[in-house]
Chain A
Amino acid sequence: MTALEFNRIAITLDKVTKVYRSGIGLHRSGAAKVIALNEVDLAVRSGEIFGLVGESGSGKTTIGRLIVRLETPSAGTIAVNDVPIAQMRGGVLKDFRRRTQMIFQDPYQSLNPYLSVLDTVAEPLTIHKRPAPVTTRVKVIQTLEMVGLSPATEFLSSYPHQLSGGQRQRVAIARAMVLDPEVVVADEPTSMLDASISVQIYQILANIQRRKHMTLLFITHSLAAAHYLCDRIAVIYRGHIVETGPAKSIISAPCHPYTQALIDALPKYGHAWAEKRFNTLRAHERTVTNTNGCPFFARCSRADENLCEARRPELCEIEDQHDAACFFAEEFKPGKSL
């Protein structure tokens, strides 16, 4: 892959906002608004593994669902390979659906219990009437071998309930990969699995991504997993991207107080930094009246009462290709020593 090709942007989010309404009462008077994403800008390069890290409710899954068009944004545009996806209709949309696939979190729910492994993985081929040079069955077997279900012929007639969690997730990955997609969104693919199985799944994803040069958006709550798998990372907090950059740089020199708090919170018995390094989390959350300030203001121990509550910091470059949305990012940038 040439450098030029690598720098091409595969997924672009331009000021994407997503608002969910809940608690619809009579005349919608009781409807509560939840801003899941607030003017998010994001650029994922073609052929990279991009990690989206955040806690539950941060909006990371919403971004994934927007990109594969399971949801539509309330404002802003999303483009995949420079084509805005909102206007796609008919044949163009169907082709987009083939080229963009999603792997869901819970393999106990994402597989149809009535379909065998063969039927599950062959179904996308049937739907998209792929003019396969080989028969469907051979393509399914190749894909199953690729995800480590080997020998594949032994799994073809199995049903999901006969498989372990790790095997189910491999079937789910095979189903996404069988159409040779260009963009794959993996939404916490290992959160239901044991640590030892998770590593296998990551290695499978990384191998396929390298072989097929696909773009992989990896959604996770674990900084460690993102660091292990990803080229670049974006950290998302309550619907705002607060820090983005190369994975190594984010971990070795986190600039945003929220990223620093995430690293502080990891269990690290036996490590030289068993104590907290950054202490960016306040003991008690502030009550915030102005919602236009920094999203992390309520919990940030470093925040300036006047500045941070009044204005929302923009993402600014702190180091080469490493951006953070914090007024004090430069000031509290750690030395490189992880």
Chain B
Amino acid sequence: MALLTVDNLSVTYGTPRGLLRAVDQVSFVLNKGQSLGLVGESGSGKSTIGTAIMGLLPKNAKISSGRIEYNRLDLVTTTAENLRKVRWKKIAMIFQAAMNALNPIQRVGDQIAEAIRFHEPEKPNTAVHDRVTELFALVGMNPRRRNDYPHQYSGGMRQRAVIAMALACRPEVIIADEPTTALDVIVQDQILATIKTLQQELGIGILFISHDISVVADVCHHIGVMYAGQMVELGTREEVFNAPAHPYTQSLMAAHITLFGDHQPEPIPGQGPDMVAAASGCRFCERCACAGDACSIEAPQWRALSSTHKILCCRG
């Protein structure tokens, strides 16, 4: 069942040099109880999609086309009042820098309680207190730590607190923007395990944004690969990770350093395209080993490889 539908979404940023097309005609569906991973390098537009869904784009950004549909409500055109009802209550976000997301001079438990009270003002104090206790247990923290301040927490605990805050109002969708990027591998492993368990037990739909394809493959049912503002490949984890079809996905996998298997990592040659200049052909063609003459002229079209797997590529 479709929980969140992003259809033909384009976002531009106004810059001194002109319009920067950060997100270009991206479409995907997030189903109930499933997780979709958006993977790509910095500047590929993956975080912009997350902030667009939350309605938190900066002032110089503009949604130039497309719909973001949640529960038959188009979040792009709806009123600020409607958006406020959905945001955090139904669609919550886990931010990347947990230290910046927490208020340093307020006890962590109080911050989570505040999030609950803001969205459910009628809730009695004892119920709020119980809910905070429940949330601490849910993300694997001792509820006694609710009276601590953020600086008394380790990096992993802060990330857990941010996850607890996102879960405060029992959302149906969580957008996790690089939730483990600043963490050590052992802590990352524990946080990913927590996210996976919560996702399964609570049936939440998770949009998981990361630059690390092995992390995405670890957590997500589906993977969407972003390059220079476009989604270039979308499929199940098995399809994209085990049989990547788009040349960019193949390059991204080849550049990934892993301890497992004998593969020698290969960097992706060249630079990403200028996102301000208007491009007609495929955005990856200059760096693509398989590009033909047509690739720099013709806009690539989606090509289905199976009922769930497709690539945006002129080849074949």
Closest chain A residue to B180, Cβ basis: A267
- Residues from chain A with Cβ under 8 Å of B155 in the complex: 56
- Residues from chain B with Cβ under 8 Å of A281 in the complex: 186
Tell me if A198 and B257 are in contact (CB < 8 A).
yes
Q: Tell me if A71 is interfacial: C-beta within 8 Å of chain B.
A: no
- Residues from chain A with Cβ under 8 Å of B267 in the complex: 196-197, 199-200, 203
Q: Tell me if A227 is interfacial: C-beta within 8 Å of chain B.
A: yes
Interface size class of A (residues with CB under 8 A): 35 or more
Query: How far is A265 from B190 in the complex, measured between Cα atoms in Å?
Result: 8
Q: Which residues, 211 to 255 on B, are CB-close (under 8 Å) to A?
A: 211-215, 217-218, 237, 241-242, 251-252, 255
Interface size class of B (residues with CB under 8 A): 20 to 34
Q: Tell me if B42 is interfacial: C-beta within 8 Å of chain A.
A: yes
Tell me if B268 and A267 are in contact (CB < 8 A).
no
- Residues from chain B with Cβ under 8 Å of A195 in the complex: 41, 211-213, 252, 255-257
Query: How far is A223 from B265 in the complex, measured between Cα atoms in Å?
Result: 15
Query: How far is A286 from B215 in the complex, measured between Cα atoms in Å?
Result: 29
Tell me if B255 and A338 are in contact (CB < 8 A).
no
Tell me if A271 and B241 are in contact (CB < 8 A).
no
Tell me if A273 and B186 are in contact (CB < 8 A).
no
Closest chain B residue to A192, Cβ basis: B42
Provide 18 A-B residue pairs closer than 8 Å at the C-beta atoms, listed in order of the A residue: A55-B185, A194-B211, A195-B255, A196-B41, A196-B267, A198-B255, A199-B257, A199-B267, A200-B267, A223-B185, A228-B257, A263-B259, A264-B189, A265-B185, A266-B260, A267-B192, A268-B258, A338-B259
**Given A165-B42, A200-B267, A251-B259, 13 other A-B residues pairs in contact with their CB atoms under 8 A:** A195-B211, A195-B252, A195-B255, A196-B252, A221-B185, A222-B185, A224-B259, A265-B186, A266-B185, A268-B260, A271-B261, A338-B259, A338-B260
Interface residues of A (CB under 8 A from B): 55-56, 164-165, 194-200, 202-203, 221-225, 227-228, 251, 261-271, 273, 281, 338
Interface residues of B (CB under 8 A from A): 41-42, 155, 184-189, 192, 211-215, 217-218, 237, 241-242, 251-252, 255-261, 265-268, 271
Top 7 nearest A-B pairs by Cβ distance?
A: A265-B189, A55-B184, A196-B255, A269-B217, A267-B218, A200-B267, A199-B267
